[in-house]
Amino acid sequence: MEIGKKKRGRPRKPEDTIKFWQFARAGHVMCAFDEVRGRGNKHSVAVRDIVDLLKQRNPEMPICQTEVRRILAAWRPRNAGTILRFERKIPTEQDIKRHYWIWEQEAALQGKKGLRLEVPTNHELTRPIALLTIRFAERPNYPRHNGKTE
């Protein structure tokens, strides 16, 4: 192939990559799954509840039961020992003030470089927000709802 000559056809997608919004959606699904299964719901009920919960929290997010099952199969296979565990955290007032201070410092730094960064107003910081934390953890074992007790 000649140097500088473009390949014909559709450009190939980089392998083993996903878009950020898909990763964030997967995190929300796994976090909700742990919340719902932690309450003792069966897997099939949990999948339905996850869809309802995520549509309530973020109506713009495209999600369905099939996609929830795909995400769980990809990110939490049955034979996995260690998984990425996503946990939802409601920030305290001190956390919000710290984040606001960081935004102000970043905006000041960007201003020195001639760039403009929007700092959220206090009104935007008072709306309900949640943080997702990510960590490596053992895959949780949710026992069967109707399993034998020995």
Domain residue limits, the chain: 20-138
Q: What pLDDT score does 16 carry? A: 76
88: left (phi over 0), alpha (psi -120 to 50) or beta: beta
Angle of CA points 63, 66, 68, to nearest 5°: 60
Give which of 49, 22, 35 is closest to 130, Cα–Cα. Answer: 35
Q: What pLDDT score does 51 carry? A: 95
β-pairing, 131-138 with 82-89?
antiparallel
Quick count: other Cβ atoms within 10 Å of Cβ 129?
12
| Residue predicted with more confidence, 9 or 150 | 9
Is 73's pLDDT higher than 60? yes
The rounded percent of the chain whose pLDDT value lies above 70 is 81
Is 38's pLDDT higher than 80? yes
Most trustworthy range by pLDDT among 70-74, 80-84, 141-145 = 70-74
Q: What pLDDT score does 30 carry? A: 93
Is 144's pLDDT higher than 80? no
> How high is the mean pLDDT of the chain?
81
- Asked whether 68 and 50 are in contact (CB, 8 A), the reply is yes
Mean pLDDT of 11-27: 85
pTM above 0.75, yes or no: no
Is 121's pLDDT higher than 90? no
Mean pLDDT of 1-16: 74
Contacts for 134 with CB less than 8 Å, ≥ 6 apart: 27, 84, 85, 86
